[in-house]
Structure 1
């Protein structure tokens, strides 16, 4: 089931006030607590939302260097390389991609020397042909979904039922 306007309002509220109770969300939105809980459950079941823990800063953990490493992989070895990447703690994200390369990773490091050590480890993985690295200088837009939720909410049809 697609996200409707009430779902978008719920998502916005959850993003803006993540520590608020379901009862309080229902009060703020003017809907029954059961209605709100049912929608939250449905959105989680449908993969719209996922239970997540706190956002942890790699920099606060002593890893202030952020780089994006594009990896070219030998054909047929993508799964093997993916498993090997998952074993490297400094790789905090990896995606199969199209274009120049096969995998794009987000890598954190203590300093540039540590980053070089990680890249050397990547190059030695069976199935890795070459890498290309770009170091992030400054975050310009923090990871976010609220603007997308707002846009979807504006485009979504109004809720047909207003159960209380």
Structure 2
């Protein structure tokens, strides 16, 4: 779905001021509340935005260690291993990938010993051949999409959207 300049401005406001009301967004953007709501509904329907709750910090929950674990899987067992990973609460993301390994996971732990326990649990899953772990030392760029929204907004056509 193409994003136009107004969509990009809306997305920027959503990211910069997530607790603001739709009425206030419309006022800031200088558009009718109905226009803004229709844009928000369309972007959610088309998967540009998703309904989100609060961001929860694993570190604040007592899991300050972050590691990235690549998991090599026996051929034909990717779905089975993926489902098993979903049962491990310390795995907060998992993706099937190309390159070295078959799955890339983001794992949190209480300490290095706990991380080792989680990795041992992964190694014992049927279909897991081996793992490779890299521990994050410090976050250098927090999860973000605002720079991408701004770049898309600069490249997007301005003016009324084309008829659908």
Q: Which runs of 5+ in 2 are unaligned?
A: none
- Once residues 132 and 14 of structure 2 are traced to their aligned partners in structure 1, the CA distance between those partners, rounded to angstroms, is 38
- Matching residue of 2:127: 127
User: What's the CA shift string for 1:72-105, capped at 9, x where partnerless?
Assistant: 0001100000000000000000000000000000
Within the alignment, does 1:13 sit opposite 2:13 as a pair? yes
- Matching residue of 2:158: 158
- Matching residue of 1:59: 59
- Matching residue of 2:74: 74
- Once residues 18 and 120 of structure 2 are traced to their aligned partners in structure 1, the CA distance between those partners, rounded to angstroms, is 40
- Matching residue of 2:146: 146
- Once residues 133 and 147 of structure 1 are traced to their aligned partners in structure 2, the CA distance between those partners, rounded to angstroms, is 29
SS in 2 for 1:106: strand
SS in 2 for 1:153: helix
Q: How high is the TM-score relative to the length of structure 1?
A: 0.97
- Matching residue of 1:136: 136
Structure 1 residue 110 displacement after superposition: 0.2
Aligned residues: 161
- Matching residue of 2:96: 96
- Once residues 123 and 94 of structure 2 are traced to their aligned partners in structure 1, the CA distance between those partners, rounded to angstroms, is 15
Q: Which runs of 5+ in 1 are unaligned?
A: none
Structure 1 residue 159 displacement after superposition: 2.5
- Once residues 160 and 44 of structure 2 are traced to their aligned partners in structure 1, the CA distance between those partners, rounded to angstroms, is 21
SS in 1 for 2:72: strand
SS in 2 for 1:47: coil
SS in 2 for 1:68: strand
Structure 1 residue 160 displacement after superposition: 1.6
Instruction: Indicate the RMSD between aligned Cα atoms, in angstroms.
Output: 0.6
- Once residues 34 and 59 of structure 2 are traced to their aligned partners in structure 1, the CA distance between those partners, rounded to angstroms, is 40
- Once residues 85 and 151 of structure 1 are traced to their aligned partners in structure 2, the CA distance between those partners, rounded to angstroms, is 35
SS in 1 for 2:18: coil
